[in-house]
Structure 1
């Protein structure tokens, strides 16, 4: 048993410490083939990817005379709205929290009125609950 522990915890032989790993010879990079930036990024047609595409979004008409379509030119680098303005920045957490609290307040102030046709169902539920 002690022989096993000695073999397990003893240091490496001195021959293994003195032997150095042979370093591979340095490869000449002067004749190597490198891709240019466009070829290295994709296998597809780069010019097609760079061209801007027009996208038309249509919505149902809410009122007569209201514009219900939005046309945007979109490219991979930037997106531009049909009126020439840049797209809006996404809402921050504080702005979205403010919007959410306003909608809750408006719902609380306009509560629905109880319907008289449901009184029979409410009475039946009360009777079931009592028994």
Structure 2
């Protein structure tokens, strides 16, 4: 929850290779107050069955920059056979056959924030690429 002096952050992940939420992805949150300040690790969480991370730590007062670190390699390694079977059943034309693992083992997203605003930053993910945007 944000106040007039703090920003708030939320995120979710969609695995675009299977068209489903990405469950169990560990996410770490860090913040800093000014572009030359040191990063402060705030803690983290993991995505739920809906791909959402609903319990990220609150940002400290004075935060100007936020970094979300997504540990996606384990996600793609876990249950890779089941994910590939789902992908072939649901969207065979949208997934490279035989693709395993992740080209990008980690995704780090850094963005600027203003006090009193909420920032929802979705991650669209597949084994060979990703995209992010400021959501609502």
Bucket of the pairwise TM-score, normalised by the shorter protein: under 0.3
Select the structure with the greater relative contact order (CA < 8 A; seq sep ≥ 6): 2
TM-score, structure 2 normalization? 0.17
Whose strand fraction is larger, Structure 1's or Structure 2's? 2
Whose helix fraction is larger, Structure 1's or Structure 2's? 1
Bigger Rg, which one: 1
TM-score, structure 1 normalization? 0.18
